[in-house]
Structure 1
Amino acid sequence: MSRLPLLGPGELNAEQQALYEAITGGPRSTGPQLFALTDPEGRLNGPFNAMLFSPRLGHALQALGSAIRYATELPPRVREMAVLVVATAWDCDFERYAHEPLARAAGLTDPEIRALREGADPRLADPAERAAWSAARALAAPAAPDILDEAWYAAARDALGERTLFDLSTLVGYYATLALQLRLFAIGLPETAAEPAKG
């Protein structure tokens, strides 16, 4: 049971309404809908409802998420693989629920998705994807001096480049923030959603 009430469209003040419209009318609302942004009453699902409780910060946070999903040069397979790494690191059912279908649509196979869910090596054949998976795991894990040392950074930079590392680290931080908020406010899956498989 969520610690936050679900806010219906008719309950929103002007700031909340502007945020609601940015979420439901922005890039997340176009193209195939692989998970529902709203419930049947029009209330936002997942982390988006929580954003309504602090609309100014929520607007910036949703804009960052939109930029990560739609304005980086991260290939869709890499982006969705990295989100699933964070979902595993934080044991976040909502991120699994929302992003496993997106990962399949991006071309990740069921065995690769299962390995990511279990925290195992997905055995990615592409060297850049493998480097991105390794970097996402290191970034999502609790920081340890030997994980982000100079040798690690040099190898990651050589494989991915600074721009991709910036985009990837921003993605990991954003989805870790959402996972933290989902946990803090005890936000579960939409009532109509099936429980995601666990490792």
Structure 2
Amino acid sequence: MSDPADALGGRLPLADPAALTAEQRALFDRMIARIVPWADEAGFASTAKDGRLIGPFNPALLNPAVTASILDLSVAERTHTSLSQRVREVVILTVGAVWRADYELYAHLALARTAGLSEQAARLIATGKDSNDLRESEKIAQRLTTALSTAHRVDDALYRQAEIAFGAQGLADIAYLIGIYHAVCAVLTLFSIPAPGQAPHS
């Protein structure tokens, strides 16, 4: 009988910590030490009950050298961004909505709540809809992220609104954040990785 936790890997089996290479084990330990407490605090699962990594953290073990650099980039983005936590989560949920990436939306709905977004607003963003329960700058960030993520263009009017709201550095920070989460969502979608409690897509 198969382990139900295996479904959490989508198209990939969940990596057995006992079978990892030295490089994979070092990355696994880093994620256990840093990502798991962050996820636990926000209220989403990053491991199966037996301690194996789920979500994007399981395929991250396939290439430890690249993943370690991506983790460094993610830490730098969070540490040095000019964006508020609320705006960051609006951007991330908007990217997740474009990709319909179940695990990303599951995790960042929890993180959006900790950032102070209302449940209703976060869920509307996660389904690609507008919410009146957002600050004006957050609405602009959602429109900007949608334009870049779908049309891959930003018209002059939206650009001017976003530049006034965030400044040039803020616009660059939004672009970097979008890029990071397009990579995350591409991995999740490629391997059909579900959120806990959801069946993988066929």
Per-residue CA distance 1:40-99 (angstroms, 9 max, x = gap) = 222111111101111101111222233334442321111111111011100111111111
Measure, in 1, the Cα distance between the counterparts of 2:173 and 2:84: 11
2:14 to 3, 6, 10: 6
Measure, in 1, the Cα distance between the counterparts of 2:35 and 2:187: 22
- Give 2:55's aligned residue: 46
Structure 1, gaps ≥5 residues long? none
Q: Which range moves more in the overlay, 60-69 or 27-36? A: 27-36
Measure, in 2, the Cα distance between the counterparts of 1:124 and 1:131: 13
Q: What TM-score do the two structures reach when normalised by structure 2?
A: 0.84
- Give 2:32's aligned residue: 24
Measure, in 2, the Cα distance between the counterparts of 1:92 and 1:138: 18
Tell me whether 1:155 sits opposite 2:165 in the alignment. no
- Give 2:146's aligned residue: 137
1:105 to 98, 114, 129: 114
- Give 1:169's aligned residue: 175
SS of aligned partner of 1:32: helix
Contact 2:93/2:109 (8 A) holds in 1: yes
SS of aligned partner of 2:41: coil
- Give 1:179's aligned residue: 185
Q: 1:115 to 1:108 in 2, by over 3 A?
A: same
Measure, in 2, the Cα distance between the counterparts of 1:117 and 1:151: 25
RMSD: 2.2
Identity of aligned pairs, percent? Answer: 36
| Shift in Å, 1:122 | 1.2
SS of aligned partner of 1:194: coil
Aligned length: 190
SS of aligned partner of 1:73: coil
- Give 1:194's aligned residue: 197
Q: Structure 1 residue runs of 4+, over 6 Å off?
A: none
